[in-house]
Every structure is written in structure tokens, then in C-alpha cells.
Amino acid sequence: MINRHPEPILWMLFSAGGVVSAMLMPALLLLFGVAYPLGWLAPPSHETMVAVLGNPLTGLVLFGLCVLSLFHFAHRFRHTLYDGLQIKHLNEVIALVSYGSAIVGSVIAAYLLWQVS
């Protein structure tokens, strides 16, 4: 039996999370954090937002954004503690807490998005 290490998959999730976050988060933050609150653009009505969020494709995109962003954070946090702060003796604990929190956050995101649709 071949013993495979999960590190390549974690690096793939890290990379995908960075790309997706860099592409989608600035637009969402500009719209919902700046343009709508300051009145630069007319905000969508509640019915429109419910209809958009009720679309399964929108839920899937938001879920992917949440999951990949959480795993990007978890991998960066793990390596910051491991390499940056030189906490090498706690590598397993750090990995468990980092990726465990990403998994728990992903489950919470799935639950919340399921409630909207």
C-alpha cells in the first residue's frame, strides 16, 4: 500500500483559495461594503437578494468561495506558526486546529447557505 501525504492537496486548496479570494472578494467588498452603504449605487431590494441567493448556482459559488478562503487561511496560518514562529514541536496540533477550523467553518457556511435557499 502506498502511503501518500496530504500536503499536495493542501497546497492546491491554498492556491485555489488565494486565486478565488483575490478575484471575488474585492468586488463583493466594494459593492456590499462601500458602494451600497455610501449610496453610490442603489442597493438591490430584499426580494432580489432572496431570489439571487435562492439560486443553487449562487449558493455553490458562495460555498466555494467560503471553503477555499477558509482553507487558504488555514494553510497560511499553519505555515506562519510553523515556519515564521518556529513552533515545530506543535506541528500536528497546529495542523489539527487550522484545518479543523476550516472544516468547521465550511460546515457552518454550508448550513447557512442551505437555510437561505
Q: What is the CATH number of the domain that holds 96?
A: 1.20.1300.10
Q: Which domain holds residue 22?
A: 8-116
Is the per-residue pLDDT at 1 higher than 70? no
* Vertex 16: Cα angle to 10 and 19 (nearest 5): 140
pLDDT tens-digit map of 3-19: 788 888 888 888 999 99
Is residue 91 one of the residues assigned to a domain?
yes
Is residue 13 one of the residues assigned to a domain?
yes
Q: Which triple of cell numbers denotes residue 29?
A: 467588498
Question: What are the Cα distances from residue 95, in Å, to 8, 12, 61, 100, 109?
Answer: 14, 16, 26, 8, 21
Is residue 3 one of the residues assigned to a domain?
no
pLDDT tens-digit map of 29-69: 999 999 999 999 999 999 999 899 889 999 999 999 999 99
In this prediction the pTM is 0.83
